[in-house]
């Protein structure tokens, strides 16, 4: 749908949106260094400081809390050479168990060593070299290496999916784990301290920013780039493991990878918009420059999409990152039971239990409405439906 102008520097693509989300977006758009405008994505919902689903172009400054505490969170998907018929009558519960053995899931669960998989060492070496070259201090996270290749919790997931041609996809959602969280909180605190020190009146403390030209800005950008690379490689590491256990479950030597898409949806990058170079923060949004592929998940019991960007200038070459929450976790647990979850997940192999009720599909917005609202931002290339889902607690 075409956007609605809801402020002097705010365009909204969401046909269903809460008042508090719009209020947050207006606060963000009021910041003096926003250029040319803030774009509110179809899946927007309230978040910390800025609404999730907000695309924020800024001149000469970055807002660390707008990037969020899961720096570089995003999706990765692999289209394999297999189809539904190749799966036969194999037991999906066996594959789920194998995935959970290969990839640590849930908060605080890390790897016990680095030598299990022969593809891990090169990723760790790259991250170590990047930290050393750019002076990234990781002393706050002595176990960051053990976190590489771990899923986390909340709405992070691994899935086995089929597209409309019944091709098999491996699909997962995760970010920069505990190390990214600590980097984010460190710089959010620095931004708040600086704004307080300079007597800057903010509409919200989580809109505290770090301006270019101070040492803290350069330090933040280097740490941010490292965390974004960690998130990218974390997804790649998990996907490499997923591919191995999938092939083993299939009884073959190779998963026959035909295509791989790895994209962030919580990050900041330098781009040109409104004829100026800006720091573009996508807080719950994917890159949708013309021809760029991305992945937009629904909930654990609905469809997800592989999309191709249309390069919408008004949309700041961005698109939604998922269905977006309809109810908070607390409200979802109040409204729904584990029996409700089981009914919604019929036909899908998943981790059952009370601890997953807050991720019930009903707690999320209708992905079909989100995608309809995004028609001017992306084209849909593949529609995916999951047959297996793994979430952390």
383 known member of a binding site: no
166 known member of a binding site: no
191 known member of a binding site: no
156 known member of a binding site: yes
Tell me which residue of 316, 292, 305 sits closest to 369, measured CA to CA. Answer: 305
9 known member of a binding site: no
49 known member of a binding site: no
Token pair of 129, please? 């070299």
How far apart CA 138 and CA 62 sit, in angstroms, is 21
324 known member of a binding site: yes
Are 309 and 317 in contact by the 8 Å Cβ rule? The answer is: yes
Q: How many degrees, rounded to 5, is the angle at CA 230 between CA 50 and CA 239? A: 105
Which residue stretches of the chain are H helix?
19-29, 64-67, 84-87, 92-102, 120-133, 144-147, 177-197, 215-250, 329-335, 338-344, 367-373
297 known member of a binding site: yes
187 known member of a binding site: no
266 known member of a binding site: yes
Residues acting as catalytic residues: 321
155 known member of a binding site: yes
Radius of gyration for the chain, computed over Cα atoms and rounded to the nearest angstrom: 20
How far apart CA 320 and CA 263 sit, in angstroms, is 12
Tell me which residue of 281, 248, 212 sits closest to 101, measured CA to CA. Answer: 248
| Binding-site residues | 70, 155-159, 173, 265-266, 297-300, 304, 321-324, 391
Binding residues for GMP: 155-159, 265-266, 297-300, 304, 321-324, 391
Known binding positions for Mn(2+):
70, 156, 173, 265
């Amino acid at each position: 749908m075409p956007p609605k102008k809801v402020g002097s520097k705010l365009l909204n693509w969401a046909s269903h949106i809460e008042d508090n989300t719009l209020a947050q977006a207006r606060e963000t758009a009021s910041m003096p260094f926003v250029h040319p405008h803030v774009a509110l994505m179809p899946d927007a919902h309230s978040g910390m400081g800025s609404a999730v689903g907000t695309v924020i172009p800024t001149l000469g400054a970055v807002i660390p809390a707008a990037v969020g505490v899961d720096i570089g969170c995003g999706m990765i998907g692999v289209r394999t050479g297999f189809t539904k018929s190749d799966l036969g009558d194999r037991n999906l519960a066996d594959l789920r168990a194998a995935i959970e053995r290969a990839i640590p899931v849930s908060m605080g669960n890390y790897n016990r060593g680095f030598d299990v998989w022969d593809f891990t060492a090169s990723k760790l070496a790259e991250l170590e070299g990047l930290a050393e070259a750019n002076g990234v201090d990781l002393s706050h996270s002595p176990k960051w290496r053990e976190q590489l290749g771990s899923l986390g919790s909340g709405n992070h997931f691994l899935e086995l999916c089929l597209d409309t041609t019944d091709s098999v996809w491996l699909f997962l959602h995760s970010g920069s784990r505990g190390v990214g969280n600590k980097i984010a909180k460190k710089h959010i605190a620095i931004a708040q301290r600086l704004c307080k020190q300079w007597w800057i009146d903010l509409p919200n403390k989580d809109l505290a920013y770090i301006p270019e030209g101070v040492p803290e800005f350069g330090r933040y950008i280097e740490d941010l780039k490292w965390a974004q690379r960690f998130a990218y490689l974390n997804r790649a590491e998990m996907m490499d493991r997923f591919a191995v256990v999938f092939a083993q479950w299939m009884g073959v030597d190779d998963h026959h990878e035909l295509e791989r898409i790895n994209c962030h949806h919580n990050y900041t990058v330098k781009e040109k918009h409104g004829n100026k170079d800006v720091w573009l923060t996508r807080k719950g949004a994917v890159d949708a420059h013309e021809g760029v592929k991305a992945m937009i998940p629904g909930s654990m019991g609905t469809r997800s999409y592989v999309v191709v960007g249309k390069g919408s200038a008004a949309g700041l070459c961005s698109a939604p990152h998922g269905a977006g929450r309809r109810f908070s976790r607390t409200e979802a647990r109040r409204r729904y039971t584990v029996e409700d979850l089981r009914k919604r997940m019929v036909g899908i192999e998943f981790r059952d239990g009370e601890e997953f009720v807050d991720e019930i599909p009903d707690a999320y917005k209708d992905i079909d409405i989100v995608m309809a609202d995004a028609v001017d931002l992306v084209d849909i290339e593949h529609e995916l439906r999951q047959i297996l889902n793994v979430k952390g607690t």
